[in-house]
Structure 1
Amino acid sequence: MTDLVSDFDFDLPATLIADHPARPRDSARMLEVPVDGPFLDRHVRDLPGCLRAGDILVANDTAVIPAQLSAMRGAARIGITLDRILPDGTWHALARNSRRLKVGDTLTFAPSHVTAEVMVCEDAGGVVLRFDAQGEAFDQFLHDTGHLALPPYIARPDGPTEQDRKDYSTIFAQHRGAVAAPTAGLHFTPALLSALEAAGVLRQTLTLHVGAGTFLPMRSEQISEHRMHAERGTITPHAAQRINAARAAGGRVVAVGTTSLRLLESATDPDGVVHPFHGETSIFIRPGYRFRAVDMLLTNFHLPRSTLFMLVSAFAGQARMRAAYGHAMAAGYRFYSYGDACLLHRNDGGAA
């Protein structure tokens, strides 16, 4: 099995990078990738006809917070991107100009009166901060002071817009804590959910708070040297029971997005039983991984040289995904967070 990041590289024309979502959301295109045979050009609204009664759709109900903050330490401006809340109430964050920081420093966040103490400084720009605002006061601080941490490939010279606040949120969003949206969920509308229900497709949510590490490139050419950032997730006992029951009755588990898939695989034992989960996962799925929980995956088109392109290559086959992405580029599919989708069938044949 390859250990080279370059084996997951491809050339993507900049014209195919979406900077706005399709409207309505379920009008986005969807490339279905069976295990073999031709690729099928569809739209997301066709999803009910691609599934069967008794299948269970599992979506991530995390909600995006405005995680991009600007702080001052004395006269020095420090860019802060919140990553995840830790069990003791502190926040792990990524800091620009982090070399200027040391443990014990106080950061101020104008125009608010909120401050944060630097508790830990890490080598790679990570910091741990303790804010003097908690609960509703902290939520209000983020609302008033923070900005969406949109992916760098979505061009917003003047910063995210009010429309982005609406567009970069899924219909499933319930639990605040994500830095980035679980973008496969952006395609769903009330009409699509109603059509899925009418088709007998079951639905369940779980929570994985997508962290700031999702924006970071792989820095090594050796895949084995890459370490995934941890992200906090929850699968309730009720959710685990429903997913296991659906599968036991012959239904397929259809993950909405790589975040749902990663949490499901983190919580599933070698016999394919999903267990309740509450904690952090840093699972890294790449070719050679054997899937335990998920049968189908709805996901967007991902960046070259990324851990997510490695994940879909593990799921549907590396050669198969290269061919699918080539088909998508030739057909003008739109890529990345605001782009189109693909529906992947699990290929246990590996590299095929």
Structure 2
Amino acid sequence: MERGSPLVTPALSVLDLVPVRTDQSSADAIAASVSLAKVADELGYTRYWVAEHHNMPAVAATNPPVLISLLAGATERIRVGSGGVMLPNHAPLVVAEQFAILEAAFPGRIDLGIGRAPGTDQVTAWALRHGGPADAEETVNRFPEYVDNVLAMMDTGGVSVSVGGRRHALHATPAATGVPTIWLLGSSDYSARLAAEKGMPYVFAHHFSGSGTREAIELYRSTFRPSPELSEPRTFLTVNAAVAEDADEADRLALPQLLTMLALRTGQPLAAQRLVEDAERVPVAEAHHGLLQAMRDRWVIGDPAYARKRIADLAAEFDVDEVMVNPVAGAHAGVDPRTAPGREQTLRLLVD
């Protein structure tokens, strides 16, 4: 396959949490992600999404719009977007303004993925809301309203709002000629129902949850109502992947991220992602072996032939024509901290 040529079915995309290793500063991690995005662009990947997480020692993806601007400016053709913006953390107008500007700067290349979770701990959620309450029930109840507000404010003609008994025109940007594609994201059936009701594209966080994917996608498809923007359901699958020339090396490269996720799931202190050699020296409690193996079994870890077949099988199983890969391969000691060779290798071996 020539670089830049379209990928065979299923189409492949990239999810990036901008991981921070023990040998990296935030600047290093961002530089590595810019390099990774360039590789994805050259190889013909469909889209490149960055997540929103806050106050986490192993994740530098705190501000998707800023990262999207950097990544879109460093690439040529790949769609760049959020996977996702956590809407409860932001005023809908701010989100609409940010993505209207991004769409104006990079027309036809921007995706706005919206999520309902805060993407952080309660203390950071409190700080994100200017010290205001972080009421989970209120967030759930008002989330559809927040989504409606973003959709209305992103319209190229603007929106009319009533304030003080008078109507006022509100525009996310003065002279928009297009809008980004807006997706709803989720890890439960809540967003599946909402996306179906509003006729929006939808993605279930299979890479994170690992369970409930089939039920959420079937619910979305079976209850979908066509909208002016979308006539039929549109979804894809997200997976974690570490690919190397041989399966043993792929297992080694996956271990640092597996240990990070194990710590997250079991309430252990979080830290920057270990290098491979350091991860191999970490003892895993007997009680956690089953959880670690269950995560490993859900991920795509192996040599190129195995990984390609596994992704094709998953696409067929869930009846999707696109798979978004979160390249979770770690790094060996001594690599350039401004690079992520294992992650780049994963993307290359899936298509070369």
State the TM bucket, normalised to the shorter chain. under 0.3
The structure with more helix, counted as a fraction of residues: 2
TM-score where L is the length of structure 1: 0.26
TM-score scaled to structure 2, two decimals?
Answer: 0.26
Q: Choose between structure 1 and 2 for higher RCO, CA contacts under 8 A separated by at least 6 residues.
A: 1
